[in-house]
């Protein structure tokens, strides 16, 4: 593994297999706060074609309502945290990637809940978790972390079209994962630089192409 790379991960759909738990509780939280039109898994997934909170705002949802949804969601998901499992191979992949790289989690979920699941699964190699309660824009969070490591190649690993759009907006190399919430087609629509079909391939991509000068000319192999 090459050193001095900045690797930023989304959480839901990348590290943890949470689609059913997330959508069930997010739909309930939306409806509890008057957002009755969010009523199916597909309704939720469509929000992630860009930043979920930006999408809600564009649909006319107020900041107060969005914050209410987060509070409701946090309360509801607390009953399910001990049931969440990491995708097979992800704990090992995170450990291997963290050996010589800085690893952050940048998520639309909540930091405390994310940390609790990871610690229960024995994952202790994360530098920092930046959840929605700290800042709702992933673009702003990715930019903040990249500003700390200006000379380092930066990667953002996500599973939705919105993740790819946000990572590329700030100049990170984007890696879409083939086991997440959105299809590979959606990831490509978002401009994914690489597609990883397994956690093992994710490790390989970062190991082989962890320098900016080595990225140029090889992206078509994975996209």
Interatomic CA distance for residues 65 and 140, integer angstroms: 21
Tell me the HSE value of 117 on the side-chain side, using a 13 A CA sphere.
25
pLDDT of residue 193: 97
pLDDT digits (tens, 9 = 90+) for 166-206: 999 999 999 999 999 999 999 999 999 999 999 999 999 99
Torsion of CA 100, 214, 169, 118, to 10 degrees: -20
For residue 9, the surrounding DSSP H or E stretch is strand 6-9
pLDDT tens digits, one per residue of 8-22: 999 999 999 999 999
Structure confidence by residue, pLDDT tens digits, 24-66: 999 999 999 999 999 999 999 999 998 898 999 999 999 999 9
Q: What is the model's pLDDT at position 1?
A: 46
Q: What is the average pLDDT score of the chain?
A: 91
Single pTM value for the model:
0.89
Report the pLDDT value the prediction gives residue 3, as an integer from 0 to 100. Answer: 58
More confident residue, 214 or 62: 62
Residue 32: its pLDDT value, please?
96
Per-residue pLDDT, 209: 79
- Pick one of 3.40.50.970, 3.30.230.70, 3.40.50.1000, 3.40.920.10 as the CATH number of 6-17+87-221: 3.40.50.1000
pLDDT-derived band at 217, boundaries 50, 70, 90: very low
Confidence band, pLDDT 50/70/90 cuts, at residue 208: confident
Q: Give 216's contacts (C-beta < 8 A, 6+ positions apart).
A: none
More confident residue, 95 or 217: 95
State percent of the chain over pLDDT 70: 92
pLDDT of residue 91: 97
Three-state secondary structure string covering 77-123: HCCCHHHCEECCCHHHHHHHHHCCCEEEEECCCCHHHHHHHHHHCCC
What confidence tier does 222 reach under pLDDT thresholds 50, 70, 90? very low
- The pLDDT of residue 210 is 64
* pLDDT on residue 221: 46
As a whole number, mean pLDDT of residues 92-104 equals 95
């Amino acid at each position: 593994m090459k050193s001095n790379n900045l690797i930023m991960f989304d959480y839901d759909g990348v590290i943890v297999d949470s689609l059913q738990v997330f959508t069930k509780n997010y739909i309930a939280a939306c409806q509890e706060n008057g957002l009755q039109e969010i009523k199916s898994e597909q309704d939720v997934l469509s929000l992630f074609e860009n930043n979920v909170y930006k999408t809600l705002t564009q649909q006319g949802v107020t900041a107060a309502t969005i914050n209410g949804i987060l509070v409701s969601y946090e309360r509801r998901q607390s009953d399910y945290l001990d049931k969440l499992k990491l995708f097979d191979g992800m704990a090992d992949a995170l450990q291997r990637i963290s050996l010589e790289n800085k690893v952050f989690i940048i998520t639309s979920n909540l930091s405390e809940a994310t940390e609790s699941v990871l610690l229960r699964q024995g994952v202790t190699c994360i530098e920092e978790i930046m959840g929605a309660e700290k800042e709702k824009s992933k673009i702003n969070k990715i930019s903040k972390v990249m500003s700390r490591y200006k000379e380092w190649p930066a990667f953002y690993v996500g599973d939705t079209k919105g993740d790819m759009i946000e990572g590329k907006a700030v100049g990170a190399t984007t890696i879409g994962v083939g086991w997440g919430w959105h299809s590979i087609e959606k990831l490509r629509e978002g401009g994914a630089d690489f597609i990883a079909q397994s956690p093992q391939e994710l490790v390989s991509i970062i190991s082989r192409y962890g320098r900016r000068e080595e990225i140029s000319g090889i992206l078509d192999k994975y996209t």
